[in-house]
Amino acid sequence: MHIAGITRHPTGPWITQQARNYLMDLGGHAESVRFLIRDRGTYFTDSFDAVFQEIGVRVIPTLPQVPRMNGTAERWIGSCRREATDRVLITGQHHLRLVVSEHADHYNRHRPHRSLGQHPPDQLIAAEPRSVSDRTMVSRLDRLGGLIHEYKQAA
């Protein structure tokens, strides 16, 4: 999951610039993107689509009144709300950015995903964890002030 930007009033030029920034962040991995599923918001202009089409990405707008077509994004938004933003009193736009980006980092780097064999997306090629014994030490990292806990075997 990549958070492109947060604004109260998205416009066509702003969204297009976020697309360019995202592709620059991807660098050499941009070729791995094959499809982009987007909703039919008026801020998604032809110039937004052109940014992705230039590198060979097929842009697929969702069909009208078919919320399941963009199920992955809807599922992530629900997860972010349940696990982070509904449990924190958001005090402003900067605070919202911090909470959402912290949750996205947790989602990509640590949270197990059933469809990925209990691996997070960023660690699909990681080595298998060591076997657990009675003497295995476990360390805990608290994120978002203790709202999210991450556990791993200590070295």
Q: pLDDT digits over 64-83, tens only?
A: 888 777 787 788 888 889 98
Q: CB–CB of 89/147 below 8 Å?
A: no
pLDDT tens for 28-55 read 888 888 888 888 888 999 999 999 999 9
Range from 107-116, 125-134, 136-145 that averages highest in pLDDT: 136-145
Do 47 and 12 contact (CB within 8 A), yes or no? yes
Count how many Cα atoms sit within 13 Å of the Cα of residue 5 in the half-sphere of its side chain: 16
